[in-house]
């Protein structure tokens, strides 16, 4: 069990587990297992008791998705509204797909899904989850990539004073091995904490309705810094900027961006706005919600015209996109998992059929790059080519990298 009690507080003091499951037996098993591991644990069987027991010191929530009187999805939404910081383990007797859909929904609500427990579970599986997720101390900012809690006034000040910088990650055309564009990735230059990564503040800024302002800061900065970057043969590069789906509610958004693009003398075709598929789907309809609820009520779902990724692609058909970006999780699982390879291959095919160029992100190895080349993927982005770089480092990269010749 961890490193024992090296720190001042015993583990029972830091780990607080809260269970909600309409089957009292399940709760009992979890409580006794937790106790045997010296962890504090409370089990509830309905939403009212659960919410009463949901104190700020709860570090891990174990939630049954399917309960007759309480809708697990509704509860997730509620936790999202409360900006719940606890790790969440979803439990259900449904297949993994439902758990994964719900987990994705949880993430889109800003929750931290740390694991799944498929019922019926075996004791070692439960112990494993408790050991990894309940015995870790309250998240410490020392692990920089872990989302950290930031006071609201810090965030407001950051936006007011534009405490943000952009790192740029090169995008390389696979056929020619040459850089063709840059993605701007925001970082917060926090006066005390140093560099803070977007996972720690994007959701918060969205919740505080400050995301539009960040968007404008990023777009302005990206466009104005762009002028100094080009390939050594003089070819200008495209600029990709991440846009929050919320900004798409503003009917004047396109005009405002175009005005800035013109101001900076960037050809409009060199400006690429990235919108996540999940937020697109979320905006198009409440599909994720409805599908998982249908399944939780016991009905079955069939994905018609199935060809992995096609369900999502089907909606993307109506989006006038010019580029499809393959998520890094698929790229990284390509070597080990057949499903991931199929997803990547099919996404490339479908993207091309819909007239889009296809970019794979998260390319970390030469094997991944070669697999993508063989499958006619257009562009690659990832640590193998370059990490996201601050401006001076990017300038160096553009001067020295064979990809920038």
Residues that bind ligand C2E (CB under 6 A): 169, 185-186, 197-199, 202, 218, 242, 244, 328, 361-364, 382-383, 388
Q: Which residues pair with 169 in a beta bridge?
A: 183
Which residue's beta carbon is nearest to the bound Ca ion?
Answer: 274
- Least distance from C-beta 144 to ligand C2E, angstroms? 11
- Least distance from C-beta 185 to Ca ion, angstroms? 7
Count of beta carbons in the 10 Å neighbourhood of residue 341: 17
Q: Which of these ranges, 122-130, 273-281, 286-294, 342-350, lies near Ca ion under the rule CB under 5 A? A: 273-281
Which whole-number Å values give the CA distances from 372 to 78, 316, 339, 350, 375, in the listed order?
41, 22, 15, 15, 5
Query: Which helix (H) or strand (E) covers residue 132, if one does?
Result: helix 123-134
**Closest by alpha carbon to 49, among 35, 30, 29, 69?**
69
Q: How far apart are CA 287 and CA 315, in angstroms?
A: 11
Report the DSSP pairing between strands 164-173 and 112-118.
unpaired
- Least distance from C-beta 241 to Ca ion, angstroms? 9
Q: Which of Ca ion, ligand C2E, none does 216 bind, CB closer than 5 to 8 A by kind?
A: none
Helix, strand, coil shares of the chain as percentages rounded to 5?
45, 20, 35
Residue 108 interacts with Ca ion (CB under 5 A): yes or no: no
Residue closer to ligand C2E, measured from CB, 1 or 383:
383
Residue reference for tokens 């003089």: 234
Residues 197 to 256 in contact with Ca ion, rule: CB under 5 A: 242
- Least distance from C-beta 264 to ligand C2E, angstroms? 17
Residue 274 interacts with Ca ion (CB under 5 A): yes or no: yes
Which whole-number Å values give the CA distances from 254 to 174, 271, 311, in the listed order?
30, 11, 28
Q: Which of Ca ion, ligand C2E, none does 382 bind, CB closer than 5 to 8 A by kind?
A: ligand C2E
Residue 125 interacts with Ca ion (CB under 5 A): yes or no: no
Q: Which of Ca ion, ligand C2E, none does 172 bind, CB closer than 5 to 8 A by kind?
A: none
Residue closer to ligand C2E, measured from CB, 104 or 242:
242
Instruction: List interacting residues with Ca ion (CB under 5 A).
Output: 242, 274
């Amino acid at each position: 069990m961890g490193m024992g009690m090296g720190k001042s507080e015993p583990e029972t003091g830091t780990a607080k587990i809260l269970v909600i499951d309409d089957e009292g037996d399940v709760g009992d098993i979890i409580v006794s297992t937790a106790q045997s591991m010296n962890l504090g644990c409370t089990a509830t069987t309905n939403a009212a008791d659960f919410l009463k027991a949901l104190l700020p010191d709860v570090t891990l929530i174990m939630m049954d998705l399917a309960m007759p009187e309480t809708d697990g999805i509704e509860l997730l939404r509620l936790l999202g509204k409360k900006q719940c910081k606890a790790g969440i383990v979803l439990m259900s007797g449904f297949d993994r797909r439902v758990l994964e859909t719900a987990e994705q929904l949880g993430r889109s609500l800003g929750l931290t899904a740390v694991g799944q427990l498929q019922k019926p579970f075996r004791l070692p599986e439960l112990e494993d989850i408790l050991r990894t997720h309940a015995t870790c101390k309250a998240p410490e900012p020392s692990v920089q990539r872990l989302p950290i809690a930031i006071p609201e006034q810090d965030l407001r000040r950051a936006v007011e004073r534009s405490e943000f910088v952009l790192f740029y990650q090169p995008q390389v055309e696979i056929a020619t091995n040459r850089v063709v564009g840059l993605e701007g990735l925001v970082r917060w230059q926090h006066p005390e904490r140093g560099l803070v990564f977007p996972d720690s503040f994007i959701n918060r800024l969205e919740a505080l309705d400050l995301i539009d302002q960040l968007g404008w800061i990023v777009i302005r900065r990206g466009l104005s810094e762009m002028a100094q970057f080009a390939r050594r043969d003089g070819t200008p590069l495209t600029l990709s900027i991440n846009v929050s789906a919320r900004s798409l509610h503003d009917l004047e958004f396109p005009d405002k961006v175009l005005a800035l693009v013109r101001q900076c003398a960037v050809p409009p075709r060199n400006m690429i706005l990235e919108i996540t598929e999940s937020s697109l789907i979320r905006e198009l309809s409440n599909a994720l919600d409805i599908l998982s609820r249908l399944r939780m009520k016991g009905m079955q779902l069939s994905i018609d015209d199935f060809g992995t990724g096609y369900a999502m692609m089907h909606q993307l058909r109506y989006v006038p996109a010019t580029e499809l970006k393959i998520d890094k999780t698929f790229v990284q699982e390509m070597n080990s998992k057949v499903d991931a390879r199929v997803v990547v291959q099919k996404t490339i095919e479908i993207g091309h059929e819909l007239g889009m160029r296809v970019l794979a992100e998260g390319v970390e190895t030469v094997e991944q790059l070669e697999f993508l080349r063989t499958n006619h993927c257009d562009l690659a982005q990832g640590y193998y080519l370059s990490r996201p770089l601050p401006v001076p480092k990017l300038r160096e990269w553009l001067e020295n990298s064979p990809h920038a010749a």
